[in-house]
């Protein structure tokens, strides 16, 4: 099969609106948590989130088109534009029939749907909706809008698997290119669900942190006093390209995609498997696909959402897969900084993993105060400060409600 490399990156996150800002935010260990500004959260149990600040969609699409897009699609347009610019692609010189877009969103245009329902309920009962309600809301529209913007006529669709969505999208893009069905695929994910429906829904599940008086430290993966995840928003885009195609055009290669895998827990709608079977399988299968041994991995960017059950279960699975090698690698959760970007998490965390290889550093797990007695203290969870070390191979994990598991392995070239 053909080799697949990453030749462009774009990031729009709560700790930086560009790739360079995101890189610096990761190195500094910034927290993106702040009081919610997108709606009045006064009566909600959780009144903070990791919002994207200072974003102007008209920097990427004209005003008329921006008004026809939900915020999650606007995010997709921004991140993909940066990634394409970063790739150095000459869009007039490539075969656009062999350029695809596989974009992910776990929920899609929730803000649009919520707004339309509210306006209908508070109106006079006459059905009257914006004609762009459905095109703004559907999760696949971001992939379509990116292809329309650039004329990419290849593979085009959306992956939806909750918080594993963009990892599955990257995996699909990797497979299509290595099978020779595309030369280039724009892949990633975006999410914009800081809405009353999302916050209220996650609150009712007791999934969100309620640390309103100390919101900047609320996302604290692996800490004894963690009380749930912090909702985030944003987008990450990667340009995946067939290796020889990239080499012929003299592209800068930021990483090689070496292997990937997907499994199911087949256990529960929201809780992890108590023995971590699905997570153990997905990491083992990814290592097999990449042709690597556990000791070849230098860093694992974990799912690490800051939930009581999930954090411990993932670390137990890592210890079972990696054995003694688990104590020689670095582990960290960048969700401690960005919050949980749901369907966009896999792409944004894949970018963090690639930056770690490029700059020889491990992004920290910030907000650690108290050791959890259920967690092996010999594991290097990169608490509170970034650490310097050579990073040649990274494994990135994402897991979604429904028991969806995804692992992707990147290697430095």
Catalytic residue annotation:
163, 303, 340
> Tokens at residue 339, please?
């919050």
Q: What is the largest CA-CA distance in the chain?
A: 66
Task: Identify the H or E element spanning 166.
Answer: helix 165-178
What is the spatial distance between Cα 182 and Cα 173, in angstroms, rounded to a whole number? 9
* C-alpha distances in Å from residue 164, one per residue of 110, 161, 168, 297, 345: 18, 5, 6, 21, 7
Closest CA to 238 of 3, 9, 5: 9
d(CA 311, CA 316): 9
Of 115, 221, 223, 105, nearest in space to 164 by CA: 105
Task: Report DSSP state, residue 107.
Answer: S
Listing DSSP states for 340-357 in one string gives: B-GGGHHHHHHHHHHHHH
Q: How many CB atoms lie within 10 A of CB 225?
A: 12
Q: State the residue for tokens 């916050």.
A: 199
Q: Closest by alpha carbon to 276, among 320, 227, 307? A: 320
Which two tokens mark 217? 């430290």
């Amino acid at each position: 099969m053909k080799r697949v490399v990453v030749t462009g990156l774009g990031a729009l996150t709560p700790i930086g609106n560009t790739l360079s800002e995101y890189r610096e935010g990761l190195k500094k260990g910034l927290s993106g948590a702040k009081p919610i500004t997108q709606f009045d959260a006064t009566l909600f149990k959780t009144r903070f989130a990791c919002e994207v600040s200072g974003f102007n969609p008209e920097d990427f699409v004209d005003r008329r088109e921006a008004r026809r897009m939900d915020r999650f699609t606007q995010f997709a347009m921004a991140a993909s534009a940066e990634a394409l610019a970063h790739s150095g692609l000459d869009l007039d010189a490539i075969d656009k029939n062999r350029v695809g877009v596989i974009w992910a969103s776990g929920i899609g245009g929730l803000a649009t749907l919520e707004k339309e329902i509210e306006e209908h309920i508070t109106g006079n009962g006459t059905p009257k909706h914006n004609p762009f309600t459905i095109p703004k809301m559907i999760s696949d529209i971001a992939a379509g809008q990116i292809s329309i913007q650039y004329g990419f006529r290849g593979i085009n669709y959306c992956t939806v698997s909750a918080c594993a969505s963009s990892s599955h999208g990257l995996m699909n893009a990797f497979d299509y290119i290595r099978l020779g069905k595309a030369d280039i695929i724009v892949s990633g994910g975006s999410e914009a669900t800081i809405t009353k429906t999302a916050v209220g829904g996650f609150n009712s599940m007791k999934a969100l942190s309620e640390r309103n008086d100390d919101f900047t430290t609320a996302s604290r993966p692996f800490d004894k006093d963690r009380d749930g995840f912090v909702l985030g928003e944003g987008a990450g885009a990667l340009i995946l390209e067939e290796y020889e195609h990239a080499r012929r055009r003299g592209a800068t290669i930021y990483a090689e995609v070496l292997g990937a895998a997907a499994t199911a827990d087949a256990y529960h709608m929201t809780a992890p498997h108590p023995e971590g079977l699905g997570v153990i399988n997905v990491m083992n299968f990814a290592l097999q696909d990449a042709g690597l041994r556990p000791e070849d991995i230098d860093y694992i960017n974990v799912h690490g959402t800051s939930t009581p059950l999930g954090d411990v279960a993932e670390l137990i699975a890592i210890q079972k897969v990696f054995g003694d090698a688990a104590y020689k690698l670095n582990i960290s959760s960048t969700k401690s900084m960005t919050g949980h970007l749901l369907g966009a998490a896999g792409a944004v965390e894949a970018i963090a993993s690639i930056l770690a290889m490029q700059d020889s550093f491990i992004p920290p797990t910030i907000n650690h105060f108290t050791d959890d007695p259920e967690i092996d203290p010999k594991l290097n969870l990169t608490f509170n400060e970034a650490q310097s070390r050579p990073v040649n191979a990274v494994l990135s994990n994402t897991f979604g409600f429904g028991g969806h598991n995804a692992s992707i392995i990147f290697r430095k070239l």
